[in-house]
A and B are shown apart, each in its own frame.
Chain A
């Protein structure tokens, strides 16, 4: 992975090539139960999986412009949680405690920079190949997010990093989902540093292969767990 921008003031950008991300993403995909089961059957099934992953990788390489942007967030502890940038409240007493103990809150916006329609067209509107591309792109996105977290840890050696996921959607009944309005407020905090990621009213990032996360880092204590 490339060396991160470790400037202390303002937005911090981490750029990566698609090739670097795919070097991480492809082995992870191949270990997923659904792909591992196919590959384990060998023969034409394994060849089909390999061919699809090769072509999906070529698509990601051709289209992706991966970037992660991290911004520090002004935060103050409230009674039972924190208020971020004067607009977004999180009702979590443990986060409040970390902030009170000197923790620094940042938001990280990660994107591969291309949408599903572009990928579908690039892949000749092949549904099966597009499905594999979606799985591979998702793994590449998370590889970039993990790299961004490692860069953040590198700024505070020995510090403890806590990840606070910002999930706008999930199956019915799933807890800890963020209201799209709150997410929109967080996105607004990026201002001109936003690498072109928007949010639909229903809570989808556009382009789809994007994610937003909060991290809280404080000096001392055990390292946060790697994803």
Chain B
């Protein structure tokens, strides 16, 4: 079992991008019969949340956030197969894609990494995603549809997605983000929440689902 010191060390290792220590400690926890779901929730996810806060505050840049996410993933790779064999449910199922006509994936991919680090199960729909594909993803149990658009020319497509989902009776929440997106735009088009950056997208998804941050 992990001591409180071990759990603090795990938190720090994620924040510092120390993948080797994360793997060692999670392996120790697994071998000691630790509640891995609780470890994920109480030590690891808060660490990634801290990393996200540092990024949003401008104290670290994207590459350092990636190093932390990589360290986190080292632990998740050990935990996930074990939790999958139990009744453990992810925080929620979320799908994400760049809207039709938008071929950029950088922002979308950062959000995916942060959502996974926050305990969500994420379905990556890719880029240039049609309205029908988003709707079909709702039918697969995704509670949130995350839309990414980078350009002025593709931003209007978000309205089409929202209208299409409504017309098909989909009840999934819609969270939007991207370089050209603002809270005001999200409010105007009826999105459920807006994420100003990758960590902000995680907070937005939680808001949309009524989960605490």
A and B assemble together: yes
Q: Which residues of A pack against B, CB within 8 Å?
A: 33-35, 37-38, 41, 44-45, 48-49, 52, 116-117, 120, 127-128, 130-132, 134, 168-172, 174, 177, 180, 200-204, 206, 208
The yes or no answer to B2 lying at the interface (CB within 8 A) is no
Check B70 against A48 for contact (C-beta < 8 Å). yes
Q: What is the number of contacts between chain A and chain B, taking CB atoms within 8 Å?
A: 94
Check B63 against A38 for contact (C-beta < 8 Å). yes
Interface SS of B by simple majority? loop
Interface string of B16-42 (1 = CB under 8 A from A): 111110000000000000000000000
Check A49 against B63 for contact (C-beta < 8 Å). yes
Tell me, rounded to whole Å, the shortest Cβ–Cβ distance linking A40 to chain B. Answer: 11
In the complex, chain B residues 93-110 whose Cβ is within 8 Å of any chain A Cβ = 101-106, 109-110
Residues of B contacting A130 with CB < 8 Å?
Answer: 105, 109
Closest to B128 in A: A200
Q: Which residues of B pack against A, CB within 8 Å?
A: 16-20, 60-64, 66-67, 69-70, 101-106, 109-110, 112-113, 126-127, 150-155, 179-180, 182
Tell me, rounded to whole Å, the shortest Cβ–Cβ distance linking B64 to chain A. Answer: 5
Check A45 against B67 for contact (C-beta < 8 Å). yes
Question: Provided the pairs A37-B60, A202-B102 are in contact, do residues A131 and B110 lie with their beta carbons within 8 angstroms?
Answer: yes
Q: Out of B66, B126, B151, B154, which one reaches A128, CB within 8 Å? A: B66
Residues of A contacting B19 with CB < 8 Å?
Answer: 44
Residues of B contacting A128 with CB < 8 Å?
Answer: 66-67, 69-70, 113
Closest to B127 in A: A116
Check B151 against A203 for contact (C-beta < 8 Å). yes
Task: Report the separation of the CA atoms of residues A98 and B18 in the bound assembly, to the nearest whole angstrom.
Answer: 57
Check B63 against A34 for contact (C-beta < 8 Å). yes
Closest to B62 in A: A34
